Structure 1
Amino acid sequence: MKSLRNYSIPFTGLALGKHHFEFDVDDAFFDEFEYSLVKKADLKCRVEMEKQETMMILDFHITGTIGATCDKCLSQYPHELDVHEQQIAKFSDEAIDEDDEIIALGKNEHEIVLAGLIYEYINVAVPFIASCGDEGNTPYCDKEMLDKLNDLSANNEQDENPDPRWDALKKIK
């Protein structure tokens, strides 16, 4: 958790207005999260913070690559990310119903920790189905695996004898 301290912004001494911050998000960042979907990364996180009297508006722009595994050929490949998100942090001693859009900061707090937000934004941007691109035509694609999959699927189609019960069910339509 020590390395996550680098992903915070001390805001108490900052003047009102816009301020820019930049963070490197790499493998060490994701090592701090035990069950992370992402293990390897080379990302830049740029944060534009607009400090106002009663709140701060944080605009995140995360770009770079993460290490992903292709769901089809199982090869490792770099997946490009370009994430734009916004978060609002409000200064308040009262209990605010925290939701995904507003973070409550007490009057005694002097910094905002962004590690959880950055981690969440990156993991949400990870594709549900990862593909290394144009099948068989990228330098990352495992052509041996694709050939084996094609052979197996061709064999399954040839060996498959239709079950007569399915024919009876198709007649119901």
Structure 2
Amino acid sequence: MKKNASFIMMDSALAKSLYDTLKTLEPKSRYSDELLQGLKDLMEGEVATLMLGMTGNGEPFINGADDGIYVGALEIHPKNHKVLCDGAEVSLTPKEFDILYFLAKNKGEIFTKEQIYQAVWAEDYLMADSNIMAFIRKLRKKIEPNPDVPEYILTIWGIGYKFTDRI
């Protein structure tokens, strides 16, 4: 049975160590600034207690590792095929997810349509440029703030596509 809450005491040495570690590591989480401010407030005596909570349903980390990819407002979690954009879950088909994950885990690398097809489709499938283009177009509509001016999945004219390495 899951506990509702757990109260853990922390001294100033631990608070300072956590604060310094977060400042140094700069974790890829939109909540790290809030945690840093909370630890700072705790150390400065502004607050006496700091409460932490998990977003979503608080799924436990397997082996303590999060294999998610975080780029800007986009989060890609391959273990449970979940994509979040600005914290909201984005509904993708399995192939859309596979294409997005393939490009994101190889960010900055340019792939031809054929290379994307070969990486994502294990079984025989009608390979046509328009198939990959249609999937990319659908993906952009779902994850891009402005699909006509994409920030995540970029077209490299005459070659193919790449996932941005600039955000």
Q: Which has the higher helix share?
A: 2
TM over 0.5: no
TM-score by length of 1: 0.20
TM-score by length of 2: 0.21
Q: Which has the higher contact order (CA 8 A, sep 6+)?
A: 1
